[in-house]
Amino acid sequence: RPVLIPVLGDQLTHSLASLEGADKDNAVVLMMEVWDETTYVKHHKAKIALILSAMRHFAGELRDKGWTVEYIALEDEGNTGSFTGEIARAVDRHDASKVRIVEPGEWRVQKALQGLKGPLDVPLEILPDDRFLCSIPEFIGWAQGRRTLRMENFYREMRAKTGLLMDGDEPVEGKWNFDHDNRASPDDGIDPPPAPKFAPDDTTRDVIDMVARRFDSHFGSLDRFGWPVTAKQAEKALDAFITERLPDFGTYQDAMVTGEDDLYHSLLSTSINLGLLDPLECCRRAEKAWKDGKAPINAVEGFIRQIIGWREYIRGMYWLEMPELAEANALDASRPLPEFYWTGETDMLCMAEAVRSTRDNAHAHHIQRLMVLGNFALIAGVRPQDVEDWFLVVYADAYEWVELPNVAAMALWADKGRLATKPYAASGNYINKMSDYCGKCSYSVSKKTGEGACPFNPLYWDFMVRNRKLLESNNRVARVYATWDRMDDDRQREYLESAKGVLDGLEPARKGWARD
Ligand code: FAD
Ligand code: DLZ
Ligand code: SF4
């Protein structure tokens, strides 16, 4: 009786723990396109196309390597529409002796699998996902007993564990973190080489056609689809990043430029999250570029920190804080998401640009996500669960394990600072410093209140005042209140009235964008 090995859509790795050591002659690999996964939120069309195309390519590669693969396509007759339904059906069909699966990335799926243990007549073995450097028990062990959790401390342990950028027990060049050199604004004139795009082959075109037909009501465009859908393509994307964009990655990490969607970012998150690229290998390649004198330390350290620091930390925090994190709302934010997050129809150029890139590419870079889209939702007091749904829908790299901590904890401070020391709230001044948007925007960033003032300016103060009780005791925020208290009453009133004007003018998103 064969062993059934289900491989989920973000487990497209040839060295996956469930495949390693399995006997090809006595195993059936099961891959499933299912309605539950494609519609539990109404994912961006390009995100669905990416995942299904990558799954189909991966199934073909496994067959070429001699595996028996059963591939259930979305439109196949009899498809039950869920992972659990398909696993149960396959156990029966093949009279499987057991099921061996790598732990899923998401809480929702983990619960569903655990619920299958009883009803299934055969043993269900759930293996740790060793594609992460830090296992879930290891992270929880690290977190237990610490009063405050800081990414930087965790990151140093990951540096020591991997030996990346280490000189014995010490960090190379004497410092753990070179972020100080990573804050250049784009004013200096930059000309980033475009990230490679991969023309859809027949398999991808079939999927794109099906997605256009079956997911017409979902957000986003399929027109510019060019994501890597195989490990080979992802490696080409990695090569191009290391040689062409990594050297400037650090310097312009926080910059935003009108019409420049990629800048010096790697655009590797979709491939890493799908399993097409090994995160550690990406880091080793970056380290080698530094060793070879081809990329400076600030860029290489910054890139490595994002992967072995932030990415691993975020994943650990997800499993540490779930399921409460999904409901967290420390600031009691209750406003519905504004409609312009879906349409891009707003006079705020920073917002319109971020939504445009999101719609066209199923991607926006980190500082757009954090300091434009996230920041606006934070200071306008948008309900975290609305914002979380939006981020989960719109990005091709979004799975709940990585989306939720980034949105709820990092961008919205809904976890009351377990992840981020202080809320990333900012006025228009920050966006102006880091972008070329404000000069072209119909709002005036230097105008603080009243007609034509940049909406981020009054909203920033309104947010601070609204949340004073919770934030005042945080000594990283205290001086903000000293500034507020020094303003005269009329000035304070102008800020709050302007903010009210902005908030009253926000049109709530119509129902049905994120979920049916
Ligand atoms: P680069 O800027 O080139 O960074 C290199 C790599 O570092 C990324 O590919 C990614 O693997 C990793 N990385 C960097 N920052 C983070 C982070 N905060 N968390 C996890 N990994 C990180 N990333 C996702 O993969 N999926 C998401 O759904 C997601 N949602 C986000 C929501 C918000 C509100 C914020 C602020 C950030 C979110 N991020 C998410 C993190 C980050 O913005 C993206 O990983 C990044 O923009 C992807 O583009 P890139 O590959 O060009 O990244
Ligand atoms: C996101 C997604 C989508 C849209 N569709 C599928 C699918 O049809 N089949 C599949 O195996 N995986 C899909 N995924 C990714 C899963 O949601 C992801 O593997 C789980 O959430 C576990 O993290
Ligand atoms: Fe955004 Fe304000 Fe700048 Fe306009 S002026 S681009 S709204 S920060």
467 with 353, same domain? yes
Pinpoint the alpha helices (H) of 3-44.
35-39
471 with 415, same domain? yes
Please answer whether residues 381 and 470 qualify as being in contact, where contact means their C-beta atoms are separated by less than 8 angstroms: no
**Closest residue to atom 4 of ligand 2, CA basis:** 38
280 with 398, same domain? no
**Closest residue to atom 2 of ligand 3, CA basis:** 454
* Nearest atom of ligand 3 to the alpha carbon of 456: 2
**CB of 34 closer than 6 angstroms to any ligand 2 atom:** yes
For tokens 């994943």, the residue is: 315
Q: If you measure from the C-alpha of residue 409 to the centroid of ligand 1, how many angstroms do you get, rounded to a whole number?
A: 14
CATH code for the domain in which residue 81 is found: 3.40.50.620
How confident is the model over 303-345, as pLDDT tens digits?
A: 999 999 999 999 999 999 999 999 999 999 999 999 999 999 9
* Nearest atom of ligand 3 to the alpha carbon of 349: 6
Q: If you measure from the C-alpha of residue 339 to the centroid of ligand 1, how many angstroms do you get, rounded to a whole number?
A: 24
256 with 281, same domain? yes
Nearest ligand, CA 308:
1
* Nearest atom of ligand 1 to the alpha carbon of 273: 25
Please answer whether residues 165 and 300 qualify as being in contact, where contact means their C-beta atoms are separated by less than 8 angstroms: yes
Q: If you measure from the C-alpha of residue 150 to the centroid of ligand 2, how many angstroms do you get, rounded to a whole number?
A: 30
Q: What is the pLDDT at residue 462?
A: 98
Place 187 in a pLDDT band, splitting at 50, 70 and 90: low
416 with 303, same domain? no
Q: What is the pLDDT at residue 488?
A: 96
SS3 404: helix
Q: What is the pLDDT at residue 188?
A: 63
Is the pLDDT at 266 greater than 90? The verdict is yes
Please answer whether residues 431 and 371 qualify as being in contact, where contact means their C-beta atoms are separated by less than 8 angstroms: yes
- 16/502 Cα distance (integer angstroms): 50
* Nearest atom of ligand 2 to the alpha carbon of 8: 11
Residue where a domain stops, chosen among 95, 127, 159: 127
Which residues, 6+ apart, have CB-to-CB distance to 341 below 8 Å? Answer: 355, 373, 390, 509
Nearest ligand, CA 440:
3
Nearest ligand, CA 268:
1
Give the mean model confidence (pLDDT) for residues 93-98. 96
Spatial CA neighbour of 416 closest among 337, 327, 310, 307: 327
Give the mean model confidence (pLDDT) for residues 51-60. 98
Q: What is the pLDDT at residue 421?
A: 86
Q: If you measure from the C-alpha of residue 324 to the centroid of ligand 1, how many angstroms do you get, rounded to a whole number?
A: 22
**Closest residue to atom 1 of ligand 3, CA basis:** 350
- 12/39 Cα distance (integer angstroms): 21
- Within a domain: residue 224? no
459 with 361, same domain? yes
Q: If you measure from the C-alpha of residue 423 to the centroid of ligand 3, how many angstroms do you get, rounded to a whole number?
A: 20
Residues lining ligand 1, Cβ inside 6 A: 265-269, 272-273, 303, 306-307, 310-311, 314, 365-366, 369-370, 374, 391, 395, 397-398, 402-403, 406-407, 410-411
**CB of 456 closer than 6 angstroms to any ligand 3 atom:** yes
pLDDT over 70, % of the chain:
99
299 with 417, same domain? no
- Within a domain: residue 513? no
* Nearest atom of ligand 3 to the alpha carbon of 438: 3
Half-sphere exposure for 62 (CA within 13 Å, toward CB)? 30
392 with 480, same domain? yes
- Within a domain: residue 222? no
Nearest ligand, CA 258:
3
Supply the ipTM of this predicted assembly. 0.99
Alpha carbon dihedral 43, 46, 47, 52, in 10-degree steps, equals 110
Residue where a domain stops, chosen among 82, 99, 127: 127
- Within a domain: residue 114? yes
Q: If you measure from the C-alpha of residue 397 to the centroid of ligand 1, how many angstroms do you get, rounded to a whole number?
A: 8
Any idea what the Cα angle at residue 224 is, between residues 195 and 408, rounded to 5°?
75
Place 154 in a pLDDT band, splitting at 50, 70 and 90: very high
For a pocket test of ligand 3, which of 348, 353, 448, 449 has the largest count of ligand atoms closer than 8 A to its C-beta?
A: 348
Q: If you measure from the C-alpha of residue 37 to the centroid of ligand 2, how many angstroms do you get, rounded to a whole number?
A: 5
- Within a domain: residue 273? yes
Q: If you measure from the C-alpha of residue 242 to the centroid of ligand 2, how many angstroms do you get, rounded to a whole number?
A: 29
How confident is the model over 486-515, as pLDDT tens digits?
A: 999 999 999 999 999 999 999 999 999 999
User: Global pTM?
Assistant: 0.98
- Residue 11 structural domain: 3-127
Nearest ligand, CA 404:
1
- Within a domain: residue 191? yes
Spatial CA neighbour of 88 closest among 103, 78, 77: 78
Place 247 in a pLDDT band, splitting at 50, 70 and 90: very high
- Within a domain: residue 260? yes
345 with 467, same domain? yes
Residue where a domain stops, chosen among 127, 157, 188: 127
154 with 240, same domain? yes
Of the listed ranges 421-425, 448-452, 464-468, the least confidently predicted one is 421-425
**Closest residue to atom 15 of ligand 1, CA basis:** 306
Query: Residue 229 is encoded by which pair of tokens?
Result: 């859908």
**CB of 437 closer than 6 angstroms to any ligand 3 atom:** yes
- 249/295 Cα distance (integer angstroms): 9
* Nearest atom of ligand 1 to the alpha carbon of 370: 36
Q: Which amino acid is at 42?
A: K
Spatial CA neighbour of 368 closest among 428, 431, 315: 431
* Nearest atom of ligand 1 to the alpha carbon of 407: 34
439 with 344, same domain? yes
289 with 172, same domain? yes
Q: What is the pLDDT at residue 190?
A: 82
Q: If you measure from the C-alpha of residue 255 to the centroid of ligand 3, how many angstroms do you get, rounded to a whole number?
A: 14
**Closest residue to atom 44 of ligand 1, CA basis:** 366
CATH code for the domain in which residue 303 is found: 1.25.40.80
Spatial CA neighbour of 110 closest among 89, 84, 131: 84
Q: If you measure from the C-alpha of residue 350 to the centroid of ligand 3, how many angstroms do you get, rounded to a whole number?
A: 6
- Within a domain: residue 444? yes
Place 158 in a pLDDT band, splitting at 50, 70 and 90: very high
**Closest residue to atom 6 of ligand 2, CA basis:** 37
Give the mean model confidence (pLDDT) for residues 171-198. 86
In the chain, the number of structural domains is 3
